[in-house]
Chain A
Amino acid sequence: MSTDSKQSRVKRLLAGIIIAILATSAGIWTARAVLQHKTAMNELDATRFPTAREIQPFELIDHNNAVFDNNALRQHWSFLFFGYTHCPDVCPTTLSVLNSVAQRLQDLDEDIRFIFVSVDPERDTPEQLARYVSYFNGDFIGVTGTPEGIEQLTKPLGILHMQVAAEDGSDAYLVDHTASVLLFDPDGRYHAVFGPPLSADAIASDFRKMLKAYQ
Chain B
Amino acid sequence: MKRRSESIRDKLLPAGAFLLILGIWWVLSLTGWIPQYMLPSPVDVVKAFIADFPNLMSHAWVSVEEALIGLAIGTALAFALACGMDRFLNLEKAVLPLLVASQTIPTIAIAPLLVLWMGFGVAPKIALVVITTFFPIAVGLLDGFKSADADAVALLRSMGAKRGQIFRHVKFPAALPYFFSGLRISASYAVVGAVISEWLGGFEGLGVYMTRARKAYAFDKMFAVIFLVVIVSLVLMRLVTLLRTVSMPWMGKAKKEREA
Partners in one complex: no
Residues of B that sit less than 8 Å from A by CB? none
